[in-house]
Structure formats: C-alpha cells, structure tokens
C-alpha cells in the first residue's frame, strides 16, 4: 500500500543512526535492523500531523508492521482515539503484535481516564491472554489507573496471583507492587510480611522500593528487614 510506504519513508527521513545504536541495546529482543532510530519527540510531532487523516486510517488498518518505530507510531495514534468502543477494538487488534517492553509501556490513551469501568473490564480480559505484552500492558494499566481513588484491595491480589515465567511480565508485577507500596503501603505491606509473592518478585520489589524517592526512609528500613 503506497500510503504506508510513504509513512515508512517519512520515518527513515527522521532517522538518527546513533540513536538507533543506543536504543537497540535497551530492547535486545528486537533485531537491530528493524530499529530505524527515530527519537520519540520527533515521532510524537509526526503523529500530530498524521492523526485523523486518510493516511493514518490506512496505516492503522495494516498489521503487522515491520519496523519498531512503525509499532510506536501505531501506539501513539491509538493514544489519540477518544471514542472508547473504537479504542478498545483497535487495542485488541494491536496488542498481540507488540513484541517489546518499550512499545508496550509508552501507549497510554488519555480516554482511559473517562472510561474506567470499560478499562477494568478489558484489563481482566487481557490478563487471561497468553501473550506476554498483553498481560504486561494489563498490569501497567491497573497500576496507572487503579492505585489512587479507584483502588480496591482486590487489585494487588490479582497481580499477586499472576503466575508467569516471562521476565517482562514479572518485571511489571514488581513495578506494580513498588508503586503500590508508595501509594497504598498499609494495604500491600502484608504481601511482604507474609511473603505472598514468589521470591524473585518479592526481592525485586524491595530493591525498587529501597531505591525509590517515593517511599519514606523508615519504610525502606523496614522493607530491608523483610528481604
């Protein structure tokens, strides 16, 4: 399709090869030849021009993409969708094609804030997936949107009960609990006192928390004693 070829050509016109070399080290599971080297601010500026055009609609209709930046472009275009039905439909199409932590973690649609009930329903659905980055994304959205006023003690239990051998799932589980300790300390500290998490995640959360600026010194000292 010519329009998608033109978009790929635009991405290569923004290429920074030194940035591609640097970024490839951060996502080692992606073939270096598939990383063009477009800096995120440049990609976001491009999205502003591209969104809601015939070209963007055609681009979104084509999956899978070849290049890492094409996936990131797709993610940033989805972020701008305001209609929740369309947004979740497009996410269900796209999530199975995400193949790295960076693309997964950067996709944060603003519409989620206005549609928490729908989001929570989709999170529960995504958590049942066998796809690493769909599960990671679900945990991340639970962390970003349901640790504040919409918190329930059910949610950390859900994350605790996820059993996975996937590094990028378990790293997100650790990130979730580190954030939960910062925001909901009293609710989640029993998970560490009673060692409810697997040993790897337990240790990683305490490591993250001890290094965090969000957790008071006295809580850090207590967490160290629970290693």
* CATH label of the domain that carries residue 134: 1.25.40
Q: Looking at the structure, do residues 78 and 23 belong to the same domain, yes or no?
A: yes
Q: Looking at the structure, do residues 43 and 69 belong to the same domain, yes or no?
A: yes
Q: Looking at the structure, do residues 106 and 126 belong to the same domain, yes or no?
A: no
Q: Looking at the structure, do residues 129 and 220 belong to the same domain, yes or no?
A: yes
Q: Looking at the structure, do residues 34 and 97 belong to the same domain, yes or no?
A: yes
Q: Looking at the structure, do residues 99 and 30 belong to the same domain, yes or no?
A: yes
Q: Looking at the structure, do residues 84 and 22 belong to the same domain, yes or no?
A: yes
Nearest-10 Cα torsion for 165, 131, 126, 175: 40
Domain boundary among 98, 114, 130: 114
Q: Which of 150, 147, 204, 151 is nearest to 173 (CA)?
A: 204
Q: End-to-end distance of the chain based on CA atoms, in angstroms?
A: 55
21 pLDDT higher than 80: yes
Please indicate, yes or no, whether the overall pTM of this predicted structure exceeds 0.85: yes
Averaged pLDDT, 11-28 = 96
Domain boundary among 61, 89, 114: 114
Averaged pLDDT, 74-103 = 98
Helix locations, 25-150, DSSP H: 40-50, 54-61, 68-79, 84-94, 101-106, 116-126, 132-145
**Per-residue pLDDT, 73:** 98
Host domain of residue 224: 118-227
Q: Looking at the structure, do residues 42 and 148 belong to the same domain, yes or no?
A: no
Q: Looking at the structure, do residues 35 and 136 belong to the same domain, yes or no?
A: no
Q: Looking at the structure, do residues 101 and 65 belong to the same domain, yes or no?
A: yes
List own/partner pairs for 189-193 with CB under 8 A and 24 or more apart. 191/156, 191/160, 192/223, 192/226, 193/226
Averaged pLDDT, 131-150 = 97
Nearest-10 Cα torsion for 187, 191, 193, 199: -150
Q: What is the percent of the chain where pLDDT is above 90?
A: 98
**Per-residue pLDDT, 4:** 83
**Per-residue pLDDT, 2:** 82
The total domain count for the chain is 2
Q: Looking at the structure, do residues 9 and 77 belong to the same domain, yes or no?
A: yes
Domain boundary among 114, 139, 167: 114
User: 96 by DSSP, 3-state: which?
Assistant: helix
Q: Looking at the structure, do residues 122 and 216 belong to the same domain, yes or no?
A: yes
């Amino acid at each position: 399709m010519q329009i998608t070829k033109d978009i790929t050509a635009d991405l290569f016109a923004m290429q920074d090869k030194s940035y591609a070399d640097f970024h490839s080290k951060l996502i080692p599971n992606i073939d270096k030849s598939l990383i063009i080297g477009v800096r995120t601010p440049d990609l976001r500026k491009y999205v502003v021009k591209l969104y809601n055009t015939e070209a963007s609609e055609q681009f979104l209709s084509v999956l899978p993409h070849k290049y890492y930046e094409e996936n990131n472009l797709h993610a940033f275009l989805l972020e701008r969708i305001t209609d929740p039905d369309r947004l979740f439909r497009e996410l269900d199409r796209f999530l199975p094609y995400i193949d790295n932590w960076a693309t997964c973690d950067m996709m944060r649609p603003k519409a989620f804030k206005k549609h928490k009930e729908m989001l929570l329903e989709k999170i529960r659905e995504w958590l049942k997936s066998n796809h690493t980055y769909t599960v990671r994304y679900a945990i991340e959205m639970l962390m970003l949107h349901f640790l504040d006023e919409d918190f329930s003690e059910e949610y950390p239990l859900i994350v605790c009960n996820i059993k996975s051998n996937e590094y990028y799932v378990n790293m997100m589980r650790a990130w979730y609990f580190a954030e939960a300790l910062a925001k909901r300390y009293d609710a989640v500290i029993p998970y560490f006192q009673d060692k409810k998490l697997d040993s790897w995640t337990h240790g990683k959360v305490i490591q993250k928390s001890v290094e965090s600026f969000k957790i008071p010194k006295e809580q850090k000292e207590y967490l160290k004693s629970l290693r």
